[in-house]
Amino acid sequence: MEKGMEKGEANKTLQFAKTMKQHGEPIEKIMTYTGLSKETIESLGD
């Protein structure tokens, strides 16, 4: 159950980062807000 919750949180964070990217937020800001790496953010589809 705990792994499922962790996966859900990770998906939520990725979706949040993707939305920020689509709205033109700088990658550095997305990194600060989400804790994701630059490579992960850049790999998100637009």
Torsion of CA 11, 41, 39, 28, to 10 degrees: -130
Mean pLDDT of 22-39: 97
**CB neighbours (10 Å) of residue 13?**
15
pLDDT of residue 46: 64
Q: Which helix (H) or strand (E) holds 22?
A: helix 2-22
Q: Say which residue, 6 or 9, is predicted with more confidence.
A: 9
Global confidence as pTM: 0.81
- Look at residue 3 and tell me whether its pLDDT is greater than 80: no
Q: Which amino acid is at 40?
A: T
Contact 37, 31 (CB under 8 A): yes
Six-digit token string for 13: 């964070």
Q: What is the mean pLDDT of residues 23-40?
A: 97
